[in-house]
Chain A
Amino acid sequence: MEGWVALYIFMLAAFTGIEIIARVPAILHTPLMSGSNFIHGIVLVGAMVILGMATTTAEIIVGFIAVFLAAGNVVGGYVVTDRMLEMFKSSGQDKDNS
């Protein structure tokens, strides 16, 4: 991928991120931080590719660490966010959303 194309992707993604957060009520700040923490768990995909291409012992070890850490990010981020949002759903009066 050309550097300039990447720059455009970065720019558009940055605006998207700002747009998403800009109109969020304060009560969702913690779940949303937790949710975005889960989203960057996509690093797991990269970690898997790195381990899958590793050739030397050092690369394999560091690659393994990368996958291990990224898996923790994904699973931990998901479970924590889900537990928080679960409570939001079961509380309050207007919970008949589906």
Chain B
Amino acid sequence: MMSAVIEFVVPLAYFLAAVMLIYGLKAMSSPVTARRGIVLSGWAMAVAVAVTFAHPKVSDHYGLMLLAIGTGGLAAWVSARRVAMTDMPQMIALYNGMGGGAAAAIAAVELLKLISGEVVLDTVTIVLAVLGGIIGAVAFSGSLIAFAKLQGWIKKAWRFGGQHVINTAVFAAVLGLGIYLMVAPASPAVLAAFFGLALVLGVLMTIPIGGADMPVVISLYNALTGLAVGFEGYVLQNPAMMIAGIVVGAAGSLLTQLMARSMNRSLANVLFAGFGQAEEETQGGALTGEIKSIDATDAGIQLAYAEKVIIVPGYGLAVAQAQHKIWELCELLAQRGVKVSFAIHPVAGRMPGHMNVLLAEAGVPYDMIHDLEDINAQFPTTDVALVIGANDVVNPAARKDTSSPIYGMPILDVDKAKNCIVVKRGQGTGFSGIENLLFFEDNTRMLYGDAQKVAQQLIADVKALG
């Protein structure tokens, strides 16, 4: 009797959890209901996890289970609470990688059972277990590399001759071992080699990709983890995992596409081309004019007496945590009657919407923040375009220089504003490593310094004008 109840209640709970997870995700797609959406999804997850303790197949290791949930959950909770808003992208990469790793580990255990003859699996199950294993392992190691890159632990995109050949060879080897496991699931050594190589593949795939492309890559790995979870859901005959996993896999794939498209590049181009090869060719390009700098006082005067100012934030703003100071400056300018708005490039920062999150944190209202399509026409009538820590997304080379690797990428036309002030830490290039033609324009002035300190000086200077 009791077991019959459990056999009914557990699947029912999973079903309700799946409904709530999807409904929650749907709610997250509108700013008004987003908060409710995540809370609802949270409850769904709690229900699903709670009933799993009563799952008919679960018979042992409850203590270890609680220990693993406790330690893993606590570590994630502490790190997620502590991390600054600016570092969110790499944390998403990290937690996503953990999910991929979990999916791969599930595949590993299931295949171990198959090898030891403990279970007999049909062909579809074995194929999905192996595929989910590859995908999960690649998402795991790839996400960790993405995390390390955004965290600044790995500074450079690492490229070497014949990289494509080696990657292809490793991929073929992983696939070969995977097929071997499907046909003749014999030895744990083959299984270990299979997972080892899949992890190496994730590292090799991610390491040559430049930091500017990381958002796309993280989004891709997010989709891949979803796919792996969906596949392992089939292996475990768990429809909630299948549905939630594939929903994320599909949604994530589309999101990845949207992101790649907003950089005017194909996904294949992001993954396999890298900016490296084209870099040398553009260095010789015609750079006319010289870089002219401006000090904070003059910049402050320009801003204070402007009619219309557009602020273009980029990753430099995030690094310097300058969003609050910038908002203070805006309010000050608004009091003087200056019309201030924000222009956000789809890939500004390290993720789409990254800048919106930061500005929202500082308290900037929605209606001051504009997308590229909405605001580009306004630059010619703008007195000052204030670029803060953005680089590639305002590089006119994307319009003018056909040989540039970013040629064709939609950019914010700040060079068309009457004056353009670029707040920048130093004279380096952007993450793509491309020289920025904007800095050489006649109407551009460079204001060197940390974005937060510069904003502070600008506030003081504008205030001093009374």
- Residues of A at the B interface (CB closer than 8 Å) are 1, 3, 6, 9-10, 13-18, 20-56, 58-60, 62-94, 97
Contacts and interface: CB of A to CB of B under 8 A. Distances in A.
A23 B31 CA distance: 12
Interface in B176-224: 188, 218-219, 222
Contacts of A48: 49, 52-53, 55, 58, 65, 69
B58 A77 contact: no
Contact of B236 (A49, A65, A86, A97): A49
A48 B246 CA distance: 20
B458 to A, nearest CB: 22
A30 to B, nearest CB: 4
* In the A-B complex, the 4 residue pairs with the closest CB atoms: A52-B58, A17-B250, A71-B72, A76-B76
Nearest to A17: B250
A46 B80 contact: no
Contacts of A79: 76-77, 80-81
B371 interface: yes
B346 to A, nearest CB: 6
B96 A46 contact: no
A74 to B, nearest CB: 6
Contacts of B110: 50
Contact of A35 (B38, B62, B118, B367): B38
A37 B221 CA distance: 10
B29 A88 contact: no
Nearest to B195: A62
A51 B254 contact: no
A49 B52 contact: yes
Interface residues of B, number: 123
Contacts of A24: 29
Contacts of A16: 22, 243, 247, 250
Interface string B45-77: 100110011010111111011011111111111
Interface in B91-150: 91-92, 94-96, 98-99, 101-103, 105-106, 108-110, 112-113, 116, 118, 124, 140
Contacts of B352: 26, 29-30
Contacts of A87: 85, 357, 360-361
Nearest to A34: B92
A76 B76 CA distance: 5
B37 interface: yes
Interface in B11-45: 14, 17, 21-22, 24-26, 28-35, 37-39, 41-42, 45
10 contacts: A13-B242, A32-B25, A32-B255, A36-B222, A44-B48, A50-B105, A76-B76, A80-B91, A85-B34, A93-B365
Contacts of A88: 31, 34-35, 357, 360
B353 interface: yes
A29 B102 contact: no
B234 interface: yes
Contacts of A14: 246-247, 249-250
A10 B356 contact: no
A86 B31 CA distance: 11
Given A30-B356, A36-B247, 15 more contacts: A1-B237, A16-B247, A20-B29, A29-B353, A34-B92, A39-B248, A42-B48, A42-B245, A46-B229, A47-B102, A52-B57, A65-B101, A67-B65, A84-B88, A97-B33
A10 B259 CA distance: 24
Contact of A91 (B79, B108, B112, B363): B363
Contacts of B38: 35, 38, 78, 81-82, 85
A40 B229 contact: yes
Contacts of A45: 14, 48-49, 52, 238, 240-241
B92 A29 contact: no
A66 B106 contact: yes
A80 to B, nearest CB: 5
A72 B98 contact: yes
B452 interface: no
